[in-house]
Amino acid sequence: MIAAPSNRRRTRLVEGLLFWAFRIGTYFVLLCATYIFLDIGIKGSRTVFTRTAPFVNLTFLSEPPQTLYVFDYQGKKMELSDRQFRDWKTTHKEEVDVTSVSYSAGGIWPCIVGTALLVIGSMTLALFIGISCAIYLSEYSRDGRFIRLIRVAILNLAGVPSIVFGLFGFGLFVIFFGWNVSLLSGWFTLGLMVLPAIITASEESLRAVPQGLREGSLALGATKWQTIRKNVLPYALPGILTSSILGIARVAGETAPIMFTAAYAMRDEMPWQVSHWTNFFFQGVMALPYHIYVVSSKIPQNEYTERVQYGTAFVFLVVVMLIALTSILLREKQRRRLSW
Amino acid sequence: MVLALITIFLFREGFGFFGQNLANLRLYRRAGLEYVDIIRGQAQTHAALSRQLGEIRLEEMRALSSGGNLEAFDQFAGAFSDSGEFLNALVSDANDQALALREALIAAGTPSAVSSAEAQPSTGIAAPIDPRASMIALRSADDKFPKIAEAMKAKIDSLLTAPPVLSNLKAKQSFESWKKKTRDYLAQLPPVSQRLREWDPDKPVPAYRAITAFLFGTDWVTASFWQDWYGIIPLLVGSIMVATVALLLAVPLGVCSAIYVSEVAARSEKSLIKPYIEFISAIPSVVLGFFGIAVVGQAVRALSQMPFMKWVPFFPISERLNVFTAGSLLALMAVPTIFTLAEDALQNVPRGFKEASYALGANRLQTIARVLVPASLSGIISAVLLGLGRVIGETMVVLLCAGNRIAIPDFTQGLGAFFQPVHTMTGIIAQEMGEVVRGSIHYRALFMVGLVLFALTLGINYLAQRLVARYRMSIG
C-alpha cells in the first residue's frame, strides 16, 4: 500500500517533529543534571579552592567543624572560628556583639574520615557475605523451591527503601543487640543494604566463567572447593569488584540508613581517639551525607552557612561521582573485552 | 542462608511491632481516651464555629475594605463571638477535668498493666484521685451543656434578626450561606447534648478500632498534651502526591529518552547519553535535597510570582518547599531508573519484529509506535513501576524539600494542592525516629509506618517482576 505523496510528506513531518520532541526531552534531562553539577561545582569550589598558594582550602579539608563567630571590631568585620575566637578573647578584653553560626567555621575532616570508615567496613562485610552467597547460589545449590524463594527474596530486598533498612538496623543492631549508635551498626546496616546488588553482580561474574575451566579442574581430581578457589574465583573476581564499585557509590551516598544507626551530628574526638581498641567499633562517627543534611536543614540559614553547605556538597559529590565514574568506565571497558 | 533470614527477620520484627502496637493502642484507648472523645467532639464543634466566624469575618472585611462601614458588622461579629464564651469556658473546664482524670487513670492503670514487668506496688502515686468522683464531676457537663446551648441559641437568634447591612454582592452571598450554616449548627446542638447524656465510659472499644484508627486516621499528632493520634492517611497522601508529581514528570522524559537513545540517536550520541544518564542515577539523594532547598525551591516560588504567570489561579505560592519542589527533584532520580529499564526492554524486542515492519513499508515512527512500543509495553510499565518504588521509598529529598507539614493538603484548591507542603511516610520516620522514647507508642507507630512502606514497595516490585516474567514468555 503506497500512500499519496502529500500524505507521505505529512507523515514525514510528524516523524521529524516527534523525533525532535524526543531529542529535546532527552537533552532536557541532561541539562538539568548538568545545571546541578555546575551550580554545586562553582559555588562549592569557592569554598574548597583558594586563589593563593596551595590553591586548596586546607583548613576546610583538614579540620573539624567549628562554630563561626561574626562581629564588628573597630569598623572591621571579623569572622573567627571557635578556637581563634577564644585566642582573640585573651588578647582583647572588650565586649563585642557576636553572632554565632554553628558548624560554619573549620572544616569537614571528621566527616570525610567517618564516611571512609563506613564505606570500607560495610563493603568488606558486604563483599564477604555477598560472594559467599553467590558461590553457594551458582555453584552448590540445586534448583529447587527453596532456592527460588531465596532468589525472590534477593530481588525484593533490592527494592526495599533505604529508610526501611535504617529502621531495621535501628531496631535490630542499635536496640536489640545493644550496640547503640556505632560504626558496627552502620556497617551491618549499610552492608545489608548493598548485599542484593553484590550478590547479583557476583553471580553474573561467576556464571561468566566458562564451564570448561571447572570441568578441567574436576577432571584432574580437585575437589569442588579447590576448583572454585583456584579456578573460578580468580577469574570472576575482577568482574565482581568492578560491579561492586557502584555499590560503594551507593553506600557512600546514602543518608537514611545511617541517620540513626551510625551518624553523629557533631563529635569532637576523631575515630581513633578511643580509650580502648574495642571501643573503636562502638563509636558513632560523623559522615558527609549526614553533615549535609544537618547543615542544610537543622540550623538557621544565613549567608555564612552557605559556604559550608556548598563546600560539603561539593566534596561529597566529587567523591561519589568519581567512584561512580570509575565504575561506569570500568564496566564499559569490560563489556568490550567480555569474551572467553 | 543469611539473606532469607534477614527477610524473615524484617517481617518478624515488623509484625511483632504490629501486635504490640495494636495492644498498645487498645490499652491507650481504654485508659483514658474514650472519656475525652466526646468532650473533644464538643470542643471541635465549637472550634469549627469560631473558625467559620473568623473566615466569614475576614471575607467580609476584605470585601468591605473599600466601603469602610465595618462598624456594624464588627459589632455583630463581636456579639457573635461573645455568645460562644460560655461554651468556651465549659470546654476548658471539661478539658482540665478530663486531663486530670486521664492522668489518674494512666497512673492507676499502668502499674496493673505492666505489673509483670514491675512487681513493686505503685507507691509513687501520692493522692490517688477517685476516678468515679471525677467522672461525676466531668459528667456535670451533661446538664451544663444544654443550658449553655440554649442561651447561645437565644443570643444568636436575636442577632440574626438584625443582620448587618452589606453592600458587596459577594459578601452578601457568603453571609447568606453562613447564616444557613449557623442555623444548621444551632439545630444540631440538642442532638449533641443528647449524645453527651448517652455516652457511657465503660463501653468497650472493639479491637479492630486500633487498626482502623491507624489505617484511616486523618490526624498525625504526636507529643501533644491532649491526645496523640497516629493516623497514616496524611503521610500516605503526601507520599502519593509527591510520587504522582515525580512520575508525571519522569515517565514522559524517561520513556522519550529511552526511545530516542535506542531508536533515533546516532551511535556517538548514544555512547555519550547512556553513561551520562547512568551517572545521574549516582547523584546522592541528600545532595539533590540540598540543591532543592538552595535553588529549586526559590526558583519555583520566584517563577510563581512572575507577572506573566498571573493567569494560574493558585499562583503566587507562599511556600518555598512543597510537593512540586520535591516531586520535580525526585523525577530526576526516577528518570535514570525508568530510562535504563525501558531502554533494555526496547532492545530486547527481537530484531525480526522491526525488520518485518520495515519490510512492510512502515517508516521509523510507525515502527516505533505500532511495533516496538507495544511489544515492549510490559517492560516499560514495569520500568515505570520500579521508578515508582524508588520514588516512594526515597527519603532525603522529601525530608528536605517537601515542607514537612503534617496535614492533608487542601484539595479544594484543585491543582494548587500540589504546591502545598506535605509530610511523607519516609520523611516522618527519618525526622521523628531520632527523638522518640524507645518502646513508646510513638516509636511503634513509626515502625508501623515503616512496615506499611515496606509492604507498599514490596507490592510494587512484585507487580513489576510479574509483568516482566509474563512479557518474557510472550515474546520468547
Q: Where do the domains of chain B lie, and which CATH numbers do they carry?
A: 31-207 (no CATH), 234-475 (1.10.3720.10)
Give the mutation candidate from A10, A22, A291 for the B interface (greatest B CB count, under 10 A).
A22
Question: Mind listing the pLDDT tens digit of every residue in chain B (476 residues)?
Answer: 555 666 666 665 555 555 555 555 555 544 444 445 545 555 555 555 555 556 655 655 555 554 445 566 666 666 666 666 666 666 666 666 656 655 555 555 444 333 333 333 333 333 444 555 555 655 665 666 666 666 666 666 666 666 665 556 666 666 676 677 667 766 766 666 666 666 555 555 555 655 666 666 666 766 555 556 677 788 888 888 889 889 999 999 998 889 888 888 888 888 888 888 888 888 888 888 888 888 888 887 777 777 666 666 666 666 778 888 888 889 988 898 899 888 888 888 888 888 888 898 888 888 888 888 888 888 888 889 988 988 888 888 888 888 777 777 776 666 777 788 888 888 888 888 777 776 666 777 777 788 788 888 888 888 888 887 776 655 54
Q: Do A306 and B294 touch (CB under 8 A)?
A: yes
Measured distance CA(B78)–CA(B83) in Å, rounded: 9
Q: What is the DSSP letter of A263?
A: B
Measured distance CA(B242)–CA(B327) in Å, rounded: 5
Q: Which residues in chain A are closer than 8 Å to B364, comparing Cβ atoms?
A: 15
Q: Do B284 and A317 touch (CB under 8 A)?
A: yes
Q: What pLDDT score was predicted for residue A129?
A: 86
Distance (Å) from the alpha carbon of B59 to chain A's nearest alpha carbon = 35
B454: nearest CB among A19, A164, A250: A164
Measured distance CA(A195)–CA(B147) in Å, rounded: 68
**Residue ranges with strand state E in chain A:** 65-73, 76-81, 99-106
Q: Do B264 and A23 touch (CB under 8 A)?
A: yes
Cβ neighbours for B265, distance < 8 A, ≥ 6 positions apart: A23, A26, B273
The C-alpha R_g of chain B, in whole angstroms, comes to 29
Name the nearest CA neighbour of B246 among B122, B113, B391: B391
Q: Do A133 and B279 touch (CB under 8 A)?
A: no
Instruction: Report the Cα B225 to chain-centroid distance in Å.
Output: 22
Q: Do A310 and B294 touch (CB under 8 A)?
A: yes
Q: Do B273 and A30 touch (CB under 8 A)?
A: yes
Give the mutation candidate from A29, A30, A160 for the B interface (greatest B CB count, under 10 A).
A29
The nearest alpha carbon in chain B to A253 belongs to B284
Beta bridge partners of A66: A105
Q: Do B1 and A12 touch (CB under 8 A)?
A: no
Q: Do B400 and A297 touch (CB under 8 A)?
A: yes
Q: Do A29 and B295 touch (CB under 8 A)?
A: no
pLDDT averaged over consecutive 10-residue blocks of chain A (340 residues)? 66 84 87 88 80 68 75 70 74 71 75 87 88 84 78 78 83 77 86 86 86 88 87 83 80 83 74 69 81 80 77 86 83 64
CB A182 within 8 A of CB A283: yes
pTM above 0.80, yes or no: no
Measured distance CA(B257)–CA(A28) in Å, rounded: 10
Q: Do A161 and B430 touch (CB under 8 A)?
A: no
Give the mutation candidate from B257, B290, B423, B449 for the A interface (greatest A CB count, under 10 A).
B290
Q: What is the residue whose three cell numbers read 556464571?
A: A207
How far from A18 is each of B15, B125, B364, B365, CA to CA, in Å?
51, 77, 11, 8
Distance (Å) from the alpha carbon of A122 to chain B's nearest alpha carbon = 16
CB B422 within 8 A of CB B403: yes
Q: Do A167 and B365 touch (CB under 8 A)?
A: no
Q: Which residues in chain A are closer than 8 Å to B2, comparing Cβ atoms?
A: 129, 133
The nearest alpha carbon in chain B to A247 belongs to B282
Q: Do B282 and A11 touch (CB under 8 A)?
A: no
Q: Do A30 and B457 touch (CB under 8 A)?
A: no
The percent of residues above 90 in pLDDT, for chain A, comes to 1
Q: Which residues in chain A are closer than 8 Å to B264, comparing Cβ atoms?
A: 19, 22-23
A23: nearest CB among B7, B260, B287: B260
Distance (Å) from the alpha carbon of B191 to chain A's nearest alpha carbon = 47
Q: Is A275 exposed, middle or buried (0-12, 13-18, 19+ CB in 10 A)?
A: exposed
Q: Do B279 and A15 touch (CB under 8 A)?
A: no
Q: Do B3 and A153 touch (CB under 8 A)?
A: yes
Concatenated DSSP letters for A39-75?
HHHHHHHHHHB-SSTT-B-HHHHHS-EEEEEEEEETT
How far from A338 is each of A231, A233, B262, B266, B275, CA to CA, in Å?
18, 17, 22, 24, 18
Cβ neighbours for B370, distance < 8 A, ≥ 6 positions apart: B357, B362
Amino acid present at B231: G
How far from A275 is each of A114, A181, A270, A271, A272, CA to CA, in Å?
18, 17, 12, 11, 9
Q: Which residues in chain B are closer than 8 Å to A14, comparing Cβ atoms?
A: 365
Measured distance CA(B97)–CA(B145) in Å, rounded: 15
The nearest alpha carbon in chain B to A36 belongs to B291
**Phi, psi (deg, nearest 5) at residue B227:** -155, 130
Distance (Å) from the alpha carbon of B55 to chain A's nearest alpha carbon = 33
Measured distance CA(A160)–CA(B452) in Å, rounded: 12
The nearest alpha carbon in chain B to A195 belongs to B3
The nearest alpha carbon in chain B to A298 belongs to B400
A172: nearest CB among B13, B277, B434: B13
Three-state SS letters, chain B: CHHHHHHHHHHHHHHHHHHHHHHHHHHHHHHHHHHHHHHHHHHHHHHHHHHHHHHHHHHHHHHHCCCCCCHHHHHHHHHHHHHCHHHHHHHHHHHHHHHHHHHHHHHHHHHHHCCCCCCCCCCCCCCCCCHHHHHHHHHCHHHHHHHHHHHHHHHHHHHHHCCCCCCCHHHHHHHHHHHHHHHHHHHCHHHHHHHHHHCCCCCCCCCHHHHHHHHCCCCEECCCCCCCEECCHHHHHHHHHHHHHHHHHHHHHHHHHHHHHHHHCCHHHHHHHHHHHHHHCCCCHHHHHHHHHHHHHHHHHHHHHCHHHCCCCCCCCCCCCCHHHHHHHHHHHHHHHHHHHHHHHHHCCCHHHHHHHHHCCCCHHHHHHHHHHHHCHHHHHHHHHHHHHHHHHCCHHHHHHCECCCCCCCHHHHHHHHHCCECCHHHHHHHHHHHCCCCCHHHHHHHHHHHHHHHHHHHHHHHHHHHHHHHHHHHC
CB B305 within 8 A of CB B316: yes
Name the nearest CA neighbour of B471 among B392, B372, B375: B375
CB B465 within 8 A of CB A155: yes
| Cα–Cα–Cα angle for A319, A322, A326, rounded to 5 degrees | 145
Give the mutation candidate from B395, B462, B466 for the A interface (greatest A CB count, under 10 A).
B395
Q: Do B259 and A30 touch (CB under 8 A)?
A: no
